[in-house]
Structure formats: C-alpha cells, structure tokens
Chain A
Amino acid sequence: DAKTTQPTSMDCAEGRAANLPCNHSTISGNEYVYWYRQIHSQGPQYIIHGLKNNETNEMASLIITEDRKSSTLILPHATLRDTAVYYCIVRVALRSGYSTLTFGKGTMLLVSP
C-alpha cells in the first residue's frame, strides 16, 4: 500500500534542473519524506529527507508544500550520472509497531546530452 505517487518517467537535458514531483496526500503531520535513488545495477542511495521546511544538501534540494501533501526533488544541474530511478518515500508502520521505508516503483529519470 504505497503512500506516495510519482510519475513513471521523466526526461531532462544535461545541465538543466530536474524537478521530480511526488504526491503524499495521506502523510501524517509528523512523518518525514525521504528521497533515495537507484542507479542501474546498484543498491539505492540516500539523497535527502525533510519534514516541513525546505532542505538542501550537496546533492539536491527538497521543496515541501505548506500542506505537506506533495514535494519536489530538485537536481539543480543534472548530469548524465544522475540517470536513475528516484524514490519518494514515507515511512509505513509494520504489524510489530516498528516502521520501515517502503519503496514504490519510483520515477525513472533519463538525463540526455
């Protein structure tokens, strides 16, 4: 039961900003939003996470709407190496009471020359 929805695929020209949207309309008020990416044949790699304030690190920026029902991951200057599947994730509860990150199908970002 995915708690996030993302477009299946997106294209971006090298050097341009890549803006990857994510809807998480059922997010609870104190749940974080996480972004990971998976380059072909590798394990997923953490990018960034946030609660309600916009966040920025060396990899990307995360913009979260005021109502927290959606967010956008921004890669400011996409390179060919940024071609990957990008996952937007909200924690989900397990039956035990613990929680885990549930990865949906993500967005396949293709960066072209």
Chain B
Amino acid sequence: GAGVSQSPSNKVTEKGKDVELRCDPISGHTALYWYRQSLGQGLEFLIYFQGNSAPDKSGLPSDRFSAERTGGSVSTLTIQRTQQEDSAVYLCASSQTPLALYDGAVQDVEQFFGPGTRLTVL
C-alpha cells in the first residue's frame, strides 16, 4: 500500500504570495499531523486533525497559516502572504488512531511521515 504522499515536493515562491501544500495520508488513517522543520532544527508541531476537525491549532505560528481536511482524507496547509521565515520543509504524518487526551497512560501509535515539501520564499 502507498505511504503518505505530499505535493509539491519543492515549491519556490516570492514573498507575499500564497501557497498551498497538499498531504495525502495513508488510506484509513483517521489522524493527520502537520509539522515544520527549519534548516538544522527539530520538527515543530503545527496542527493535528482527527477526521475533518482540528482539535488543536495551537502550533500554527500566525494567522497567515491555515489548514483544512476534507472527507477525512486529503489535507491542505495554506500559507498566505508568505515571508522568508516561512522557508522550511513542511512534513505531514498520519496515524491509524488519534492522539489520546493527555493522561500519559496511553501510548501513541506510530506516525507515518511523508517525504515533505521544501518551501523556499525568495
């Protein structure tokens, strides 16, 4: 079966333009996550979807960032009025079951990552 796919693999845009990044999770995975990885840094959590709803958007860095998920499958991360500091690799991951409410007692299931979209804002 196919893994998580993301498109485009590379995106170069000019400052101030809007961009859309797409993620196709593994079929049947109900949970979907977006992360950002800046050069030489660890992964920064952005947003998490359970089905089509996003119970936690606290990681989105500004109101220029938004995301949606339709049909419990494909997700789109949109960055409006891009800035140079938005340049990074944007990674999407999916898992079979959702993140637990934080009680520490439930083990998360494995997250499967896509190859990422490298965004360069000139």
The residues of A with any CB-CB pair to B shorter than 8 Å are 28-32, 34, 41-46, 49, 51, 87, 91, 93-106
Contacts and interface: CB of A to CB of B under 8 A. Distances in A.
B111 A93 contact: no
Given A103-B42, A105-B42, A43 B100 contact: no
A101 B108 contact: yes
Tier of interface size on chain B: 20 to 34
Interface in B82-112: 91, 93, 99-105, 107-108, 110-112
B12 interface: no
B43 interface: yes
B45 interface: yes
B115 interface: yes
A32 B41 contact: no
A43 B102 contact: no
A91 B110 CA distance: 13
A98 B48 contact: yes
Nearest to A106: B42
A69 to B, nearest CB: 16
A61 B48 CA distance: 30
Contacts of B116: 42-43
Contact of A43 (B41, B55, B113): B113
Nearest to A105: B42
B99 A100 contact: yes
Q: Which of A43, A46, A101, A103 has the most CB of B within 10 A?
A: A43
A46 B91 contact: no
A99 B108 contact: yes
B14 interface: no
A100 B113 contact: no
